[in-house]
Amino acid sequence: MVRPRRMNYIQDFLAEFKSLPVHGLAALGVLLLYAIESEIRFGAKARTMAAGPADRWSTIAVSIASCVPVIGFILAMRGERSALLRTLPLWLRDPATLPGMPLIAWVGVGLGVTGLLLRLWALLTLRHRYTRTLRVDEGHLVERGGAYKLVRHPGYLGSLLCLNGLGLASGNTVVFLATLVATITAYTYRIRVEEEMLVTAFGASYERFQREVPALLPFPR
């Protein structure tokens, strides 16, 4: 009896997962959870991708930066298994050019999990104010509870940890460095634009928040 073609596709798909190293499977789990978490928003305004003038393309910037570790991770994990990807230079698809592998990959997985938890904490603190694009709506206040007692942008810190953790988990030096440059550049711009918007919206209240709470790293002031 000939097996249905669909069953063959499913078996091939599962075989691809089984062929990944354990740290690759763990990092893939982080990537999938990151994608799911990115879809969680409370309310239509929080979910909308319609950006106002205050956004200044920053949402697009961080979205593009987020693609760098995702694509790089796939290249590193699949580079030797795909005839198409084997046409790329080895330095771009080799999953073992970072020193200290596989330990460094597990460090990346740990950073990714930490980032996911931090993003979730920020999401549950802000709820309907945790928006995709930069916007301030009626009734919004400066949040100083939860993760926002530690840093002003815990969601962005979580994203940086998660995305750069994926870069480390790829095991590829070029992927990790490209991720580092892309995410730091994009999120630095995002934070600058957002803080300008919040100072305009909240004035002295947000300026006091800036003086008292660090932006990303929870060092005491």
Q: What angle do CA 92, 94, 97 make, to 5 degrees?
A: 100
Q: Which of 156, 193, 163 is nearest to 178 (CA)?
A: 163
Residue pLDDT tens, the chain, 221 long: 445 565 555 555 556 666 788 999 999 999 999 999 999 998 888 888 888 888 999 999 999 999 999 998 988 877 555 554 555 566 556 666 788 889 999 999 999 999 999 999 999 999 989 998 998 877 788 999 999 999 999 999 999 999 999 999 998 888 999 999 999 999 999 999 999 999 999 999 999 999 999 999 887 76
CB 217 within 8 A of CB 151: yes
205 CB-near residues (< 8 Å, 6+ apart):
142
pLDDT at 204: 95
pLDDT at 216: 94
Q: What are phi and psi of 138, to 5 degrees?
A: -60, 135
- Kindly list the structural domains of the chain, giving each domain's residue range(s) and its CATH number in brackets, ordered by start: 21-212 (1.20.120.1630)
Q: What are phi and psi of 102, to 5 degrees?
A: -90, 0
Q: What angle do CA 164, 66, 197 make, to 5 degrees?
A: 105
